[in-house]
Amino acid sequence: MSEATFELASDPAAAAAAANVVAAIADNKYFLARRLAEWGVAAPTLESAVACTAIAQEEAGHARALYSLLADFPRDVAPVALEREGDRERKYALAAVLLADGSFVRGIGVFTLVDRALTIMLEACAASAFGELRRRANRILGDEPFHRRYADGRVRELAGRSDFERVLAALLPEVLCWFGPAGEEGLELLVERGIVVSRNEELRQAFLASLGELAERTGVRLPIERGEDGWTHPELPWAEWKRLERRLPSRVTTKAA
């Protein structure tokens, strides 16, 4: 019996909550890899196109590592791995990455926000009491500095462009919702079990702090502000949010992009 099955088999509620988080990270990595391959074709320079391809390969590898972890979960709580986009009816990915759009400017906006959000969640899993998740999270995080440098460099190049900043503003609410509402039952259970070490609002604030630091370094304008009690952000459309898939309908996230 694997360590993953041993740790989760006797706790069905925690297993279901953990499977949802792992599937959400894995599916977003999977579709992000596909989109990066498309955006790379539209990159303005050969260097940028090659970097996009390299990152796409790494993101696909991250997805495979997480899908292999899902195979250790009880079958009644874990979705099967995606091999082709039509293999599974329910996709646990953001509408931002499900939408095939070859625009490089939009692609950098999606990558900047989504990859940052995934990294924040993986950092919350890097000290997990769930050993197999902890090991995979730390291996994946080893690749993220390269991804971050690439994204931040492109943001610096695009900062001040109104089309790019509109994309960021349009996509931001869905990515902020991805962390879940404060007090979300599933994540609260995972924190209680030590499987994830940060709560919803802590994750969201860490993500916003990272974006705030990016804005200060690059000059890109974002609809967020540092307040006395943390970072403020646009009102989030929780009534539209799909809890299991952890996303908003595409009509909400793409209308301004």
CATH number at residue 39: 1.20.1260.10
- Give the pLDDT of residue 247: 95
Q: pTM here?
A: 0.92
- Give the pLDDT of residue 182: 94
Task: Report which DSSP code applies to 242.
Answer: B
Asked if 106 and 256 count as a contact pair (C-beta separation under 8 A), the reply is: no
- Give the pLDDT of residue 137: 98
Radius of gyration for the chain, computed over Cα atoms and rounded to the nearest angstrom: 17
- Give the pLDDT of residue 148: 94
- Give the pLDDT of residue 85: 61
| Structural domain harbouring 241 | 3-253
| Domain count of the fold of the chain | 1
CA–CA distance, 67 with 33 (Å, rounded to integer): 14
The CA distances from residue 86 to 65, 83, 225, 240, 250, in Å, are 20, 8, 40, 24, 18
Structure tokens at 211: 């974006």
- Structural element, H or E, at residue 140: helix 131-141
Longest distance between any two alpha carbons in the chain, whole Å: 54
Low-confidence residues of the chain, pLDDT below 50? Answer: 1-2, 4-6, 254-257
- Structural element, H or E, at residue 225: strand 225-227
CA–CA distance, 32 with 49 (Å, rounded to integer): 15
